[in-house]
Structure 1
Amino acid sequence: MAFNALWLTDPKTDTDPANIVQVDETTLPHLPVTLRVLYSSLNYKDALAIRAKAPVIRQFPLIPGIDMIGEVIASESIQWPIGKLAIVTGWGIGEQYHGGLAEKFTAKAEWLTALPEGITPTDAALIGTAGLTAMLAVLQLEQQGITPEKGPIAVSGASGGVGSFSTWILAKLGYEVIAISGDRHAEEYLVQTLGASSILPRSELSESGRKLQPERWVGAIDCVGSHTLANLLAATQRNGCVVACGMAQGLELTTSVAPFILRSIRLVGVDSVYCEVAQRNAAWQRFATLLSHSSLPIPYQTIGLQQAIEFAGRLLEGDIRGRIVVQTTFN
């Protein structure tokens, strides 16, 4: 039986490489669990792939979509009975394997995370990879002993996807958050909506700086890399911790051993694509706990699968603020 999917072909050989088409079920790999996709989301990485602006996908044809929330409709795994709701983020879906921007999806059992009680499928799509990455970063700060009473936490790229979730989570947990952003119009969003205590202009950290600077924060979540990460490290308080989870400014990192050997600073990385199942479960359960007494303040809009190609272009052009949830089933 055929289903609708966003189908990408090789842009080097096809002048029209992104289309919504009918795909035969036999196109999907034979994996233990088959799901009816309820929602996906449109991330920046998805937009790059759909619009062929970066080599996100190396093998064509492929269905993009790095997030998937669905209902099990066929299963060879006793762990995943028919009717169970599941989340898949990472594991190479939408890059190496067919992703979530379709009506059907097949998965290995270990890719699936059970949708926790208290989180709706729409919430899960809204959270997606961006929210999961942010929660993993916050959990790393906690594991390193960085508690609210020890001092403020800086968040770079605070008005972006991971940064917005990081700011909101930290504020809900009682931390003082210094939101770093280059968006001059984001103050109301960062402070009143997400709960940041103060805002620091991105320009203060985006250029090369001294290797050791006055202590300003006990911890940080860095979503941009490069000079910003180096400056965050240089201004972190003694025994503090910086969590790196992004590279919006660049992959390079030019720093010195000074923050590490003179202040005992720790630099921890977060990889949400291939993180362990136990970590994923812990992160999603923390979201369930937070959402038991509050709602997600992250702005979003819901679109249909047939609108994904258009919205991918708008996302790359900077025409959209907030998250994009994709309802994949055609009415």
Structure 2
Amino acid sequence: ANGGVGSFAIYLLNQLGFNVTAATGRLDQSEYLKELGAKHVIDRNELSNPGKPLQKERFAGAIDSVGSYTLANICASLKYGGVVTACGLAQGMDLPGSVAPFILRGISLMGIDSVMRPKVDRIEAWERLAKLVSADYLDKISTEISLEHVIDNAEQLMEGKIRGRVVVNCQS
């Protein structure tokens, strides 16, 4: 939840009135996640290991940016008719789960693709985001760096020391 996708998802879902639970491997960042709009913060280890095919119904929906066991456990924890969107593979490309939640709870799994989406859909999405997202918020979750600092930031990112979105200014 501390990355760019997670930070943005928490904020947008909160803006839309949802009760947001954020999963993170850095519980020391819980206050930051709550400032973004998370009502609850859980340890990502609750979701990142092998689990049962059907679990207690906890979530109405989810945005998953990690895949693998986390995605399988989210699917197993969705309430009847819930939807999860998958937009990342940080934990893995596999989906080690069961079809049980899809059949017994009628859940849906939607893939998010930002590359091949038609231009008209992108324009509509940007217009909707412009109404929901304030410039102050973007400043809160973004850090701008110069091209010369990319390697250092990449190492920090891989060590889990960066939160939010990093924007590289190629002209500085």
Paired residue for 1:305, among 121, 142, 147?
147
TM-fit CA distance, 1:162: 0.8
Contact 2:47 2:74 in 1 (8 A): yes
Which residue number corresponds to residue 180 of structure 1? 23
- Partner Cα distance (2:34, 2:134) in 1: 22
For 1:324, the equivalent position in structure 2 comes to 166
Q: Which residue of 2 aligns with 1:238?
A: 80
Give the structure-2-normalised TM-score: 0.89
* Partner in structure 1 of residue 2 of structure 2: 159
Question: In structure 2, which of residues 133, 137, 156 is the aligned counterpart of residue 291 of structure 1?
Answer: 133
TM-score normalised by L of structure 1: 0.48
More helix by share: 2
CA contact (8 A) 1:206 1:228 kept: yes
- 316-325 or 233-242, larger mean C-alpha shift: 316-325
2:34 aligns with 191
* 1:254 aligned partner, one-letter code: P
Cα distance change, pair 198–282 in 1 and its aligned pair in 2 (3 A) = same
* Larger-Rg structure: 1
Provide the C-alpha distance between the structure 1 equivalents of 2:151 and 2:49, rounded to a whole number of angstroms: 35
Shift of 1:200: 1.5
Q: Is 1:211 matched up with 2:53?
A: yes
In structure 2, how many angstroms separate the alpha carbons of the residues matched to 1:259 and 1:252? 17
Q: Given that residues 179 and 198 in structure 1 are in contact (C-alpha distance below 8 angstroms), is that contact kept between their aligned partners in structure 2?
A: yes
- Fraction of identical pairs, as percent: 49
- CA offset at residue 258 of structure 1? 1.0
Q: 2 CA distance for matches of 1:246 and 1:293? A: 25
* Corresponding residue pairs, total: 172
- Structure 2 segments unaligned to the other structure (5+ residues): none
**Distance across 1 between alignment mates of 2:150 and 2:98:** 44
Q: What are the Cα deviations for residues 106-156 of structure 1, in whole angstroms up to 9, with x where unaligned?
A: xxxxxxxxxxxxxxxxxxxxxxxxxxxxxxxxxxxxxxxxxxxxxxxxxxx
* Residue in structure 1 matching 2:111, options 260, 269, 273: 269
Are 1:298 and 1:323, in contact at CA under 8 Å, matched by a contact in 2?
Answer: no
Q: Deviations over 1:1-50 (max 9, x none)?
A: xxxxxxxxxxxxxxxxxxxxxxxxxxxxxxxxxxxxxxxxxxxxxxxxxx
How far 1:293 sits from its partner (Å)? 8.7
Pairing 1:224–2:45 present:
no
Alignment partners' CA distance in 1, 2:143 and 2:44? 27
- Output the amino acid matched with 1:264: G
Given that 1:239 and 1:264 are in contact with CA atoms closer than 8 Å, whether structure 2 keeps it comes out as yes
Aligned to 2:13: 170
Rounded Cα–Cα distance in structure 2 between residues aligned with 1:297 and 1:176: 23
Pairwise CA RMSD of aligned residues? 2.0
Which contiguous aligned blocks of 4+ residues in structure 1 show a shift greater than 4 angstroms?
Answer: none
Q: 1:294 to 1:325 in 2, by over 3 A?
A: closer
Letter in 1 for 2:43: P
